[in-house]
Every structure is written in C-alpha cells, then in structure tokens.
Chains A and B, each alone.
Chain A
C-alpha cells in the first residue's frame, strides 16, 4: 500500500511537469511572439481612437523595428507619422533598453528640431490613444510575477502580478495566450477591487513571412471610455534594416526606401 501511495505521488508530480509548460517559458515565448519576431520588421499602422462620446480620431504611422545585436532584449524603434496633418512627418525614435531607461527622441520637421525627450511613465497614453507606450514596445516579463492559473483547449491563462505595485495602475492582469502561436489573444487588467477596467483584444492574426502576426487589435478602457483599434498593413520581416537607420541622420531625413 505504501509503495502504491509513493508511486502515486511520484507519478502525479511527473505527470504535472510533463503536461504543463513552465510558466516562465510561456511568458518568454509570448513576449517573443509579440515583440521580437524576426531580426527586424516594418508595419504601417492605422489607429482609430474612439472616445467615450463615439467621436473618432485617426493616426497613421509606420514603425520600423530592429532587434539589437548587443543587449538581450534591447531594440530600436523608428516611428514615422503620416497623419493627421499636425503631426505628419514627425518622427519618434526609441532605443529600448532592458537595463536602464529607454532613450527617446522626437523630430519636429517644421523647426528641424531633434529633441531628446525624458523617459516617461511607460503607462501613459501613446499618441492620445488607449494604448500605453508599454503596450506598443513591450513590458519586460521580469516586472511581474507570473502564474499559470488555467489551461483551456486553446489557451494558457496567466495571472501576472506586478513586483512594484507603485509603478502601475493595475493590481494584476490576466492573459490568454494561444497555445500554438504564443500570441496573447486577450489581456484583462484588473484594479485593486478586482474590476476588469481595461482589455486588450486581438482581432485578427495573419501569417506574414512565416510569422504569426497580429494585424488588428483593440484596447478598451472603461476608466476613460472608448477604445482604440490598430490595424496593420504592409508588414514585412527580416528586411535587413540597418542599425544606422535609428540615428539622428534619419530623424532629419527619413529613410524613404525602408518606410515605403
């Protein structure tokens, strides 16, 4: 009897580990699938911001991204605005650093001004939308404690709790990570009262250059009301975007070939 009980325990432990992917691995793969696919990438984005009174605003921009060879996880982003008129031709550049604050620049074409901008709270609105800077460039997985709370037919369901609760507005978030692609299909943010006030939804996924790619997504936020939809076109990966694109030279004179 003792023997059986022992073997039972052993088997249970083994079974559990064989079945469940370690949570860290899920998180790493999800982070990679969302923000790091390919060596570099390009996408044209059309953003529609709908406010609580159903008024809409549009933003159109092209993002170039390059994973840096040097630091693990560091990346460079070049965001070229096409519209609306008052921000057209403005460029926003970010060197995303994993060990220190990101470096950011803004180029204002009418003044020919290259402005270096202070690192801001990552959880402030990106260009007035419902997306935060962090939603666009990625939140470091090490900032939260992750827990696999459920596994459904299609998803790993993760609960993530911030390590530094003072730096974020949520108490935890719950992500539904698609099992085969590792794309987070939905992320629900909860406040201290357990209320789900903010939700990210993937609306469409396409395979581009062999990568499963989100081509439409929405962020809704009941605190401010309304939502923002992002639609991606002209996506490509591994274009061979050179490192020097992400420099002052190309802030002042945009890289037309790469942006096309």
Chain B
C-alpha cells in the first residue's frame, strides 16, 4: 500500500520537487518519470478530438512549407513612383416609356478613365481624366466646366502639407462634406444630377470643383476652407438629356426648350467661399458650416433676357453625427439666405429656405443594412411667395417633406450588392426609386443592372416632373 501510494506521489510530485516539499528524485528516474508526466497530464482530460494537435508552422520549429512566396504587393508602377489606375466601361439605358421631348436612349456611353498619381516629395499630384464616347448627346464640344464632350476632367490637383497642422489641395478636385445620404444641405459643392438620374456610377453624382482647399487641424477644432475663384454650378437638368417641367411654358419640356443660363463667370468676383468647422465631442461629430456664393442650380430668371440665373446665396448650418443604439444617427440643418430676394416677394428669384434632415442607419442582419431619413425644405416667407405668384401658376407647399429609405444587401461572399434607395414626398405625392444589383464577376469585372423610376401625381413637382425620364440601365466595367 505504502509503495503504491509512493509511486502515485512520485508521479505527481516530480515537477513540484523544486519547491523542496519532497526530496528530488535521483537522476535517471527523474528523467523517465518526467516523460511519463507529460504523457499523462495532471490536468483533467478534455474530450480528445479525433484530430491530432496541429503541427508547428514554420517559424515555430515546424517544417518550411513549400509555398513560401512572399506577397509582393508592389508593382513596377509603384516602384516608378507613379500610381496608375482606372477603368473601362460601357453603360446603356433606355427610357421605360415614351418621352416626346427626349430620345428613347437615356444613356449609351463608353467611358475610359485613367488616373495617375505621383508623389513629388513636396506634395502629391493627381490627374484623373475620363474619355467618353456618348452618342445620346448630339453636342460633343468639350466643356470642362459642364463635363460636356469627349473629355471629362475629374481631377487635376496638387496636395501639400505646408506645416504639420495644415493640408492644402489646389486644383480640380471632388469635394464632399455633410451627413446626408444622397441628400445635401451644407454640401454646396457641385452635383451632377444628370449623371445621377440616368444611372451612371454614384461617384458621378459629384462634379469636380476648381478650388483651393485649406485644412487646418488643432486639438480644439479643425477648419476646412474652400475657395472657388470662379463659380462652379451643378450639372443641372437642362433638357438636353432629361425632360423637366418648364415653368415659363407651364408644361413639360426637353430638347425643345433647353435651359439657357446666364452663369456668373467672372474670376475672383463671381467666386464661392465655404467653411466647415468641426470636431468630435465624445463620440459625436459636430460641424458648423458657412457658404457664400450662388444657388448651385438655376433658381431665378433674368426678366430682361429670359435667361435662367444663379442668384446670390449665403447659407449657414450645423450637423451632428453619432452612434446611437448600435446604429448611426445624424442630423443636419441649413438656412439658405437668398440674398437677392430677402423679402421673398420677387417671383424671379428663389426664396430663402430652412432645410433640415434627420436620419438613422442600422445593420438589420449580417450583410443587410437599412437606413431612413426625414428631410424638409421650408420656405422662409411663404405669404410673400404666394402673393407674388402669377395667377394660374401652381404653388408649392410651404414645407416640402421627403422621406428616404435605403436597403443594402450583400450576398455570395459579398460579390453581389443589392441596393434600393427610395425618395418619397408625402406632400408632393411624388417619389424616386433607385434599385440596383451589382455583381463583381471577378476582381476586375463588374456588371450592373439598375433603374431610375420617377413618379408623381403632378408634372410640376420635384420628382414628378421627371416621370417620363424613368429608365433602366446595364453596365459592364473592367477596372485596372
């Protein structure tokens, strides 16, 4: 009995012997006993899996695996210091109904984008150009301002860090700020509504600005200042591609009544200035905005010439964005002060407005995200507006309400994206659906099918006027 106990004792005690509780085992015995201990661990045995423990990987004493190629992510172009990228794309779309003022094709273009980026030491130069073959439009004269023609210059910029607390970006660049999802209040940078409504890739919603952007950073607050020496308008709906409601004609119009504008175009006097002051407060991102310039799409008419105008505009705003209950909530307010019509009595100039939005985004299930927004535009002096309206002209409501919903679903290992964006205005009774399915066939090939569906009870409301432009499109893109 004693012997048995002793044997058991030895078995367990061996590692503890160093602590001097029991006499150390003599050499030889210790060695073999130690081995034994290893084979029968003193610990409770878990259910042994059928699988043996993994062999050690190379680096932990394991065999070198045959496949030892190192991931070389640097290409020859990287070594040259120039980064090339871009894509080639064809995109075709048709109106889903007849439009007496426009072609049946809503989009039909071949586009090739080349982007070059070079670190020059003192800064980064970027040049991005699209070559576009677009038979839907009849006029191919190159206009870099409106994006018309064979060439659409997307970016030609130079970025510098003059000091540790400042970034300066000069030249043609795309600019975005604010919190709205496909709704913009304090982002007064040019939009391309044509591109958006005919189903180009979403990146084309933003038109480039020719500007200087200075960003200053500090512990307390950060400041962005964007100076545009010559006014950059939206690429607004002008009837060339998309029909719209023409208030002068009191009827839908398109290529029969292309909007001709008197664009503010004097360097340094018809300029724009935008500020954003922002910081994080806790986990909330808070920003204040200012803009001094012009209405970005035509919002007035020159009585003498009949040309559409971009009246002077100043705006002020604030936004807050923060996580709430596992989602992201955001709110933004902006006051649009229409400087040329402070009383609101001038029917030829847009009235001042208060715009606000509130939104929330949340993951509904893995790879399924839902988002909703409420947005309103409130006329500042509605009585003056009504009083100034010519008899028979349809009046807008004092408050235009818009609700948006977004659903995005990723499937097939995230190679297929199903998305639906929906605008609906309960007071105007109109809306806009943007369904789209995008499939990454390989890393380089992407195929898309989608639609832009407008509807409305009246033909003069914001979305309702585009009803005859409702279209479906397909595209195929090869990136490099």
Contact = CB atoms under 8 A, between A and B. Distances in A.
Contact of A185 (B9, B15, B49, B60): B60
Given A124-B367, A174-B49, A60 B73 contact: yes
Nearest to B215: A249
| Of B12, B44, B442, most A-chain CB atoms within 10 Å | B12
A19 B15 contact: yes
Nearest to B60: A205
B281 interface: no
Given A8-B9, A128-B414, A86 B167 contact: no
Contacts of A14: 16, 19, 21
A258 interface: no
Interface string A133-156: 000000000000001111111110
Contacts of A207: 59
A255 to B, nearest CB: 10
A118 B21 contact: no
A88 B70 CA distance: 21
Contact of B46 (A88, A124, A150): A150
Nearest to A232: B71
B79 interface: no
B160 to A, nearest CB: 10
B73 A82 contact: yes
B367 A125 contact: yes
Interface residues of B, number: 86
Interface string A10-21: 011011101110
Given A101-B326, A127-B414, A150-B46, A176 B53 contact: yes
Interface residues of A, number: 85
B268 interface: no
A116 B70 contact: no
B59 A85 contact: no
Nearest to A108: B203
Cβ-closest 10 pairs across A and B = A149-B46, A85-B479, A205-B59, A46-B71, A128-B414, A110-B203, A84-B443, A231-B71, A186-B54, A124-B366
Given A188-B49, A206-B59, A215-B59, 10 more contacts: A8-B5, A15-B13, A83-B443, A89-B85, A101-B323, A120-B363, A151-B41, A176-B53, A186-B53, A247-B217
Interface of B: 2, 5, 8-9, 12-16, 19, 21-22, 38, 41-49, 51, 53-54, 56-61, 65, 68-73, 85-87, 119, 124, 159, 167, 169, 173-177, 202-203, 205-206, 215, 217, 222, 278, 283, 285, 321, 323, 326-328, 330, 361-363, 365-367, 369, 410, 413-415, 440, 442-444, 446, 477, 479-480
Interface of A: 4, 8, 11-12, 14-16, 18-20, 44-46, 49, 51, 55, 57-58, 60, 82-86, 88-89, 101, 103, 108, 110-114, 116-121, 123-125, 127-128, 147-155, 157, 159, 174, 176, 178, 181, 183, 185-186, 188, 196, 201-207, 212, 215-216, 224, 231-233, 244, 247-249, 253, 256
